[in-house]
């Protein structure tokens, strides 16, 4: 409790040395429109240049792991929705994958395809929202975000007709998916995917060559590939720094080995690359979606051996990971043979990606900090859990 008691946290000793002027210590957040939730950055400024930056989080610590250890495996599934609340379906998948590993369950082919389809739709809407918010942070007040949310609503409509909820889908189960696709869903999804391809062209025409966007993002917040690897950064942030690492290709979990898709890589590791990587990833996702919707096999969506009630995996441990839209999302479960997990640990990608924030912001202007943070793509539900 002591860390909470002292507010504001006096995180820094005074900065001294040649050229050091009067330093200003500024707390950005926890209530600040650019922090994407309840996140705080304690920044030391020399004029407008950042000299130190310390992220302070825990404002949304909701005891996810502790609660999960006190209840059955299945009861944690709806809680995983609320980790990264933009991407409930990929969270579901990571957790289901880990438990399937722990209990040795098989997933029917149709369910694997549905998982790929829902996960890629999730990736598209996550990246859309991220770009919208990034541009909002840059002062493009409204327009890109409005367009992004317009398209996101179409994807959420698909989720709603499939799972019954817009955001908190709670859809996957150990050994498959909860329900099969409703009639007409495939056609709707195909229409949405077609529309998204057209929309992306339009969105890119608006943004990618935009002079203001380029001026605000190019050569700003550069993250070297070595620093990214050392810090354990994953996902689009790592690939924007030029490291070819995607869990979909490395682990080939699910049925990802059946799809032909490329991994876009960045050259400079700056904010503009991080923006562009997301656009390119969305295009690759649409490619996967087209094939998956075409090849979806018939069959059951649940492993007949899977038991939802009285589920007790044998003692042991498992680490399962997937490529969530924000990076490598992992779950580590230790079972002691009881109905509850003995240890339940989440490896949230956006927490790891946040650790390089100071390095990227050092020496930049204060206005760049907002843009750099926007390009990291954090969701506090996942950072603080």
Partner 1 sequence: MEVTDQELKIDLQKQGVLMTSLNELYNWGRKNSVWPLQFGLACCAIEMIAASMARYDLARFGAEVFRPSPRQADLMIVAGTVTKKMAPQVVRLYNQMAEPKYVIAMGACAISGGPFKQGYNVLKGIDRYLPVDVHIPGCPPRPEALLHAFMTLQNKIASQPLTGPARPRHLRAGAPSEFSVPQCGPHGLVPPSNPAVWRPPTAAQAG
**Given the rule CB under 8 A, which residues bind partner 1?**
1, 4-5, 7, 30-33, 37-38, 58-64, 66-67, 70, 78-79, 82, 85-86, 145-146, 149-150, 152-153, 166-168, 380-381
**Distance in Å, CB of 186 to partner 1, minimum:** 23
287 touches 261 (CB < 8 A): yes
Buried b (16+ CB within 10 A) or exposed e, 338-368: eebbeebebbbbbbbbbebbbebbeebebeb
**Distance in Å, CB of 200 to partner 1, minimum:** 18
Instruction: Give the per-residue SS3 of 111-146.
Output: HHHHHHHHHHHHHHHHHHHHHHHHHHHCCCCCHHHH
**Distance in Å, CB of 284 to partner 1, minimum:** 25
Given the complex with partner 1, which of 70 and 337 has the nearer CB atom? 70
**Distance in Å, CB of 54 to partner 1, minimum:** 16
Given the complex with partner 1, which of 34 and 210 has the nearer CB atom? 34
SS3 for 383?
helix
160: which DSSP letter? H
Given the complex with partner 1, which of 349 and 381 has the nearer CB atom? 381
Given the complex with partner 1, which of 145 and 373 has the nearer CB atom? 145
Tally of residues, the chain: 385
Q: How far apart are CA 218 and CA 233, in angstroms?
A: 20
Give Dmax (Cα) for the chain.
Answer: 71
Tokens linked to 335: 């079972």
54 touches 357 (CB < 8 A): no
Given the complex with partner 1, which of 166 and 258 has the nearer CB atom? 166
Given the complex with partner 1, which of 273 and 384 has the nearer CB atom? 384
Q: How far apart are CA 63 and CA 152, in angstroms?
A: 29
**Distance in Å, CB of 9 to partner 1, minimum:** 12
Render 53-76 in DSSP notation, one character per residue.
EEEE--TT---HHHHHHTS-TGGG
Given the complex with partner 1, which of 7 and 183 has the nearer CB atom? 7
**Distance in Å, CB of 5 to partner 1, minimum:** 5
299 touches 110 (CB < 8 A): yes
Query: Phi and psi (nearest 5°) for 6?
Result: -85, 115
Given the complex with partner 1, which of 7 and 16 has the nearer CB atom? 7
Q: How far apart are CA 282 and CA 302, in angstroms?
A: 29
Q: How far apart are CA 133 and CA 159, in angstroms?
A: 22
């Amino acid at each position: 409790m002591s860390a909470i008691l002292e507010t504001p946290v006096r995180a820094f000793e005074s900065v001294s040395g040649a050229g050091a002027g009067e330093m200003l210590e500024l707390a950005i957040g926890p209530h600040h429109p650019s922090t994407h939730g309840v996140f705080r950055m304690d920044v030391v400024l020399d004029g407008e240049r950042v000299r130190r930056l310390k992220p302070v989080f825990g404002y949304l610590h909701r005891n996810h792991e502790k609660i999960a250890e006190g209840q059955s495996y299945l009861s944690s599934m709806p809680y995983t929705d609320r980790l990264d609340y933009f991407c409930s379906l990929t969270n579901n998948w990571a957790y289901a994958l880990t438990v399937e590993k722990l209990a040795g369950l098989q997933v029917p082919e149709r369910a694997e395809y549905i998982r790929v389809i829902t996960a890629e739709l999730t990736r598209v809407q996550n990246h859309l929202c991220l770009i919208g918010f990034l541009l909002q942070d840059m002062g493009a007040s409204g327009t890109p975000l409005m367009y992004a949310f317009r398209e996101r609503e179409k994807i959420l409509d698909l989720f709603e007709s499939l799972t019954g909820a817009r955001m908190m889908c709670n859809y996957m189960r150990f050994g498959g998916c909860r329900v099969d696709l409703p009639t007409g869903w495939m056609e709707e999804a195909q229409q949405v995917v077609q529309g998204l391809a057209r929309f992306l062209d339009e969105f890119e025409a608006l943004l990618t060559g935009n002079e203001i966007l380029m001026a605000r993002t190019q050569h700003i917040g550069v993250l070297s590939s070595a620093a990214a690897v050392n810090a354990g950064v994953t996902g689009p942030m790592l690939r924007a720094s030029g490291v070819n690492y995607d869990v979909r290709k490395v682990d080939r979990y699910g049925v990802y080995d059946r799809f032909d898709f490329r991994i876009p890589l960045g050259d400079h590791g700056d904010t503009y690359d991080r923006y562009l990587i997301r656009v390119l990833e969305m295009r690759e996702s649409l490619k996967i979606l087209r094939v998956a919707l075409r090849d979806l096999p018939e069959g059951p969506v649940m492993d007949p051996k899977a038991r939802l009630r009285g589920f007790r995996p044998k003692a042991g441990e498992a680490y399962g990971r997937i490529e969530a839209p924000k990076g490598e999302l992992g779950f580590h479960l230790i079972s002691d043979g009881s109905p509850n997990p003995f240890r339940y640990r989440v490896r949230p990608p956006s927490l790891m990606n946040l650790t390089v924030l100071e390095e990227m912001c050092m020496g930049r202007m204060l206005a760049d900090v907002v843009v750099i943070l926007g390009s990291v793509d954090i969701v506090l539900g996942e950072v603080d859990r």
